[in-house]
Amino acid sequence: MTYRSDISYEMVKAAMSIIADGGSDGLLDLTPEDWNILTGQTIWLARDRAAARRGLQAACFGTLDAIGMTPFELPAEFVAAAIAMFVSPCNLQIAANEMCLQAKATVSDLSSEKDEGLEPMRASQLFALVCQAYGETAPFKERFVQRTKRKMEKMKDAR
């Protein structure tokens, strides 16, 4: 697979929309039941959360596949965009709580240009990003592109 450097928020959102429209039709390695848990209107119970977490991971990496990208460590903004796209509003906070250990950012300064000292985000921080993604704010879109490009470059340099 080739490395892309021309990523945009709109391109990723379009890929997520395609997946959302046909997610249970084999685009992701999810059962229809797991897809229904991920996207459904029912509030997730403890027994649903593992399936929802697997579904979000599949949606994130399925998005990368859809735009022809090699998988890489996803920035918190990418995870937040996936939560905003695939998860029902009644489960947004729960999804942020479930995914916060995988969403990494500099905790002291979310606008930092450095990738040094990354640690898992708190659920409240990821939920704030989910709200920004849900509202598609311009600062969120800019940070999404910047951080995703940095993660892509980091992955490219490691190879």
Flag whether 2 is in a domain: no
- Using CA atoms, how far apart are residues 79 and 151, in angstroms rounded to an integer? 13
pLDDT tens profile 60-103? 999 998 888 888 888 899 999 999 999 999 999 999 999 987 66
Continuous H helices in the chain? 9-22, 32-39, 49-66, 76-86, 92-99, 123-135, 138-158
The DSSP H or E segment spanning 105 is: strand 104-105
> So what's the pLDDT on residue 103?
66
Checking if the pLDDT of 8 tops 80, the result is yes
Q: Which two tokens stand for residue 56?
A: 């979000």
Flag whether 1 is in a domain: no
Checking if the pLDDT of 3 tops 70, the result is no
| Domain total of the chain | 1
To the nearest whole number, what is the mean pLDDT of the chain?
A: 84
With bands split at pLDDT 50, 70 and 90, how would you rate the model's confidence at 47? very high
> So what's the pLDDT on residue 5?
59
Flag whether 91 is in a domain: yes
Residues in the chain: 159
Half-sphere exposure of 61 (CA within 13 A, CB side): 12
Flag whether 118 is in a domain: yes
Report which of 100, 77, 81, 95 is spatially closest to residue 37, judged by C-alpha positions.
Answer: 95
* Torsion sign across C-alpha atoms 134, 150, 155, 110: negative
Flag whether 115 is in a domain: yes
CATH code, domain with 58 = 1.10.1850.10
pLDDT tens profile 110-120? 445 555 555 66
Checking if the pLDDT of 155 tops 80, the result is no
* Torsion sign across C-alpha atoms 111, 150, 139, 98: negative
Q: Which domain holds residue 135?
A: 9-158
